[in-house]
Amino acid sequence: MPLPGAPSLGSADPVEPVLDLLGVLAYGELSAFERLAADAALAPTLSDRAALDGLAVTEYSHFCRLRDRLTALGADPDAVMGTFADALEEFHDHTAPSDFLEGLVKAVVGDGIAADFYREVARTPAVDPATRQIVLDALAEGDRTAFATTRVRAAVDADPVLAGRLALWARRLVGEALTQAHRVAAEHPGLTTLLGGVGGTAEVSQMFVRIAEAHARRMTALGLES
Amino acid sequence: MPLPGAPSLGSADPVEPVLDLLGVLAYGELSAFERLAADAALAPTLSDRAALDGLAVTEYSHFCRLRDRLTALGADPDAVMGTFADALEEFHDHTAPSDFLEGLVKAVVGDGIAADFYREVARTPAVDPATRQIVLDALAEGDRTAFATTRVRAAVDADPVLAGRLALWARRLVGEALTQAHRVAAEHPGLTTLLGGVGGTAEVSQMFVRIAEAHARRMTALGLES
């Protein structure tokens, strides 16, 4: 995939898995952008609609940085990203929100778990420092889901039945995310070799514990039981 | 609409029509953002899809500036924008592109005519200088449709039948735009008083001649007969 003259990643670095990491992130951001912009139609007010559109625009700026990094590494972004299209579109097809609050919970929970996971992967030794920084920058950007969290929290505090429904919805989102993550890992074994660089099985387990804990904190902030 | 303590527009300035101008522009940009993001699904490649999404993101940044100006003038952006929702959504419902090239032509032609028209309105004496600058800035931003023009031109040069179909499509876009412009004018007579500030009927006619000429130039650049 890398063209002649592409920047070296260092002899110890597996090029293919790093490209895969950038590719799945880039496609994820692009599809998140389009899905959030479509979900905005569910918003009850123009302000809410504009706020969800604003979350979408943030995803697009992340997409641009990740795609540009793929290009800088000599890869063809379309080719790398394309191998993740089916799994990521299937995730979205299985998790189309039926109302505005489901859309907000999806933005917070989905974005959060994906960001935690990719942050862990980016920190593995196999990822070159420049790519790591771009991935971490793309994922940092303050608390862009604060608006969504506040809106969900207010609605849930006023309606316990809603809290139950949205908690179930969040669990379904996590289940679908894991299903698609398994599919991505099976289709791209290189990505799992990146995690192998973390260390032993115990360290991988620790990573999943950290991601689960962060998810539980987000659910608490939303006023939902995880 | 303006709250107490809102910045004065000067005693000679009609406040309501200026808010209407900002409101129709802001709603137009927000809906253009969402429609372009949806049209991106028609793109044949990921690069094309990302490029159309990028055009959408530009519209969103314009939306933000126009909405913020409404807020600065003491208006409720949702209330002002909301009065234009039906007419603008009807325009989009009547002009949903059936393929990627129709989407690109719509981006170039629709964006172009709307920008020309609002630029003319913004230059009328009734519009306060700060609002004028924001509107002109929102509409300037280099040639963001260059990508779309290049792609359409290449496709049209290779296929005369396609050129005929897309020229018809562009004419339909113009017709629908005029229909909705009439509706907006009828529902918001204040907006037409802004044009009255241009001068006599002859000057208004001159304005429409300029807009028609600019449209013809865009069609030529697309390789289409206007």
pLDDT tens-place string over residues A154-193: 999 999 899 999 999 999 999 998 888 888 888 988 887 7
* Res B7: pLDDT: 45
Residues B122-176 have pLDDT tens digits of: 888 888 999 899 888 877 755 668 888 999 999 999 999 999 999 999 999 999 9
Average pLDDT value over all residues in chain A? 86
> Confidence band (pLDDT; 50, 70, 90) for A198?
low
- Chain A positions touching B77 (Cβ under 8 A) are 46-47
Task: Measure the CA–CA gap between A159 and A170, rounded to whole angstroms.
Answer: 17
Tell whether the model's pLDDT for residue B179 goes beyond 80: yes
- Chain B positions touching A82 (Cβ under 8 A) are 46
Q: Cβ of B41 and A56 within 8 Å? A: no
In chain B, the residue whose alpha carbon lies closest to the alpha carbon of A32 is: B37
Where do runs of H (alpha helix) occur along B5-99? 15-39, 46-72, 77-82, 85-94
> Confidence band (pLDDT; 50, 70, 90) for A200?
low
**Chain A residues 7-66 within an 8 A CB cutoff of chain B:** 27, 30, 33-34, 37-38, 40-41, 45-47, 49-50, 53-54, 56-57, 60-61, 63-64
> Confidence band (pLDDT; 50, 70, 90) for B200?
low
Taking the whole predicted model, whether its pTM rises above 0.80 is answered as yes
Q: Cβ of A47 and B82 within 8 Å? A: no
Task: Measure the CA–CA gap between B171 and A161, rounded to whole angstroms.
Answer: 52
Q: How many angstroms away from the CA of A73 is the closest CA of chain B?
A: 17
* Res B196: pLDDT: 66
Q: How many angstroms away from the CA of B52 is the closest CA of chain A?
A: 11
Q: What is the CA radius of gyration of chain B?
A: 18
Q: Which residues contact A196 (CB under 8 A, 6 or more apart)?
A: none
Q: Cβ of A30 and B37 within 8 Å? A: no
* Res B57: pLDDT: 93
**Token pair 């778990």 in the structure block, residue:** A113
> Confidence band (pLDDT; 50, 70, 90) for A141?
low
> Confidence band (pLDDT; 50, 70, 90) for A35?
very high
Residues B78-115 have pLDDT tens digits of: 999 999 999 999 999 999 999 999 999 998 998 888 88
* Res B142: pLDDT: 58
CA angle A122, A125, A130 (to 5 degrees): 55
Q: Which of A223, A95, A70 is nearest to A148 (CA)?
A: A223
Dihedral of the alpha carbons of B25, B26, B30, B36, in degrees to the nearest 10: 30
Is the ipTM above a cut-off of 0.85? Answer: no
* Res A142: pLDDT: 57
Count of beta carbons in the 10 Å neighbourhood of residue A22: 30
In chain A, the residue whose alpha carbon lies closest to the alpha carbon of B79 is: A46
Task: Measure the CA–CA gap between B132 and B126, rounded to whole angstroms.
Answer: 10
